[in-house]
A and B are shown apart, each in its own frame.
Chain A
Amino acid sequence: MNRCPDRDQWVLYAAGEVSARRRRALAAHLETCPTCRTECRAVERGLEALTALPAAPAVRPEAIEMLRRRLSVAAAHRVSRPSVVGRVYRYRWVAAAAVLIAAALTYTLFPASDVTQPAWRDESYVVDEITEISAELEMLELNTFAATWDSGNGSGGAVPEAIKGQGRLPLGRLADEVGVQG
């Protein structure tokens, strides 16, 4: 190994977290590289310094006792607590009664006879609308034809009586609006 390894590698090396093969290679490099040797020794000293701390410091017995008690309570709660299905199953009759009451209330408050259909669902209403629209279109066509005739583009400038004022215009409300005499 000629090139110096990344300095983070010395952390793994000092902590003993490299494979045997890698360890041999790194050790061989240390033999020839004073810079890496210094680096590695510094990391090793850091790990050594950590050992000055107690690995398992004493915890107050009261704190341990409290922990045991809390764990026991949690364990008892877990054992005694039924599953979600179990909890729902316990109230199955209440749930069935609630559904029945809700259905009865709905039927009472909103009886079927009160339901009215909107106007567009009525067939006669639709037929009337179509008739009215057809009449309007027809009237527009006749007026356009009459105007063309009057302007001299038609035959002799006179509108035939069969068309003028007669036509097939309906005699109802629409005819009155456009001033057509029946």
Chain B
Amino acid sequence: MTGQTGDSEDVERLLVAFSPRVYGLLLRMVGRSDVAEDLMQETLLRAFRSLGTYRSEGKFRAWIFRIAVNLARDWIRRRPREPATGLDDDAAAAPAQAVLARDVPPEADALGRERRRDVEQALARLPDADREVLLMRYYGDLTFKAIARATGEPLGTVLARAHRALRKLGDLIPEESHEPLP
């Protein structure tokens, strides 16, 4: 019994450690910090409850992010018809602005803030499926192959979505300021 309790505590700690990244993905998917918090808790609680169904051959992180994406999709499907993901909308912008003010370090320069706002807006304009791929990649730190496995979609489809989305985000960065890869 003590062992079980100890295991549970370890898992709890692990799940809590995931919470900021899961929250980050959900926030960008649903566009509302209150909903993202609720869904983050629900995601990690579900992961905890269904640890028995987790197949060890997959990545634990990918499994958690898949739960998060599914919950966010459900919420988006059921939400009242309002543009909740766009920061350009006043109703949706209010909580996102609060998040922005909390997350950005005070020393962050104006350029950084402006770029972040641009990226947020560009992300909000992407089709849901394209945005999901980028968010799973960035917040889940998952490879595109892992994303394909987690979502059950062919790798080619995932890469096509990533390519389309990255091209649009890439337009936000001036070409002259970019340092190409070696």
Q: A: which residues have CB within 8 A of B? A: 7-8, 10-15, 17, 40-50, 52-60, 63-64, 66-68, 70-72, 74-75, 78-79
Contacts of B127 in A (CB 8 A): none
A61 to chain B, nearest CB (A): 11
Query: Given A11-B163, A11-B166, A45-B170, A71–B45 Cβ distance below 8 Å?
Result: yes
Contact of B24 among A8, A46, A55, A70 (CB under 8 A): A55
Within 8 Å of chain A (Cβ to Cβ): is B28?
A: yes
Contact of A79 among B4, B24, B165, B167 (CB under 8 A): B4
Query: Given A53-B120, A74-B49, A45–B40 Cβ distance below 8 Å?
Result: no
Contacts of B82 in A (CB 8 A): none
Task: Produce 1/0 per residue, B142-182, CB < 8 A to A.
Answer: 01110000000000100110110111111111010010110
Q: Which of B58-66, B72-80, B83-91, B133-141 sits within the interface?
A: B133-141
**B167 to A, closest residue via Cβ:** A42
- The binding surface of chain B is classed by DSSP as helix
Query: Given A41-B178, A43-B163, A63-B37, A75–B173 Cβ distance below 8 Å?
Result: no
- The binding surface of chain A is classed by DSSP as helix
Q: B: which residues have CB within 8 A of A? A: 1, 4-5, 8-9, 12, 15-16, 19-21, 23-24, 27-28, 37, 40-41, 44-45, 48-49, 99, 102-104, 112, 115-116, 118-120, 122, 134, 137-139, 143-145, 156, 159-160, 162-163, 165-173, 175, 178, 180-181
A41 to chain B, nearest CB (A): 6
**A63 to B, closest residue via Cβ:** B37
Query: Given A58-B102, A60-B37, A53–B173 Cβ distance below 8 Å?
Result: no
A12–B144 CB distance below 8 A? yes
Contacts of B9 in A (CB 8 A): 75
Give the residue among A50, A66, A70 with the most B Cβ atoms within 10 A: A50
**B165 to A, closest residue via Cβ:** A46
Contacts of B104 in A (CB 8 A): 54
Contacts of B40 in A (CB 8 A): 59, 63, 67
Contacts of B116 in A (CB 8 A): 52-53
For the complex with contacts A45-B178, A67-B41, 20 further pairs of A-B residues with Cβ separation under 8 Å are A8-B163, A17-B144, A41-B175, A45-B169, A45-B172, A46-B170, A49-B118, A50-B137, A50-B169, A55-B21, A56-B20, A58-B103, A59-B20, A63-B19, A64-B16, A67-B19, A67-B44, A71-B48, A75-B8, A75-B48
Contacts of B1 in A (CB 8 A): 79
**A17 to B, closest residue via Cβ:** B143
A74–B170 CB distance below 8 A? no
- Report the Cα distance A17→B156, complex, angstroms: 14
A57–B27 CB distance below 8 A? yes
B19–A59 CB distance below 8 A? yes
Would you give 14 A-B contacts (Cβ < 8 Å), ordered by A?
A: A8-B162, A11-B144, A15-B137, A17-B143, A42-B166, A43-B163, A43-B170, A45-B169, A45-B175, A50-B134, A53-B119, A58-B102, A67-B16, A67-B45
B139 to chain A, nearest CB (A): 7
**A50 to B, closest residue via Cβ:** B138
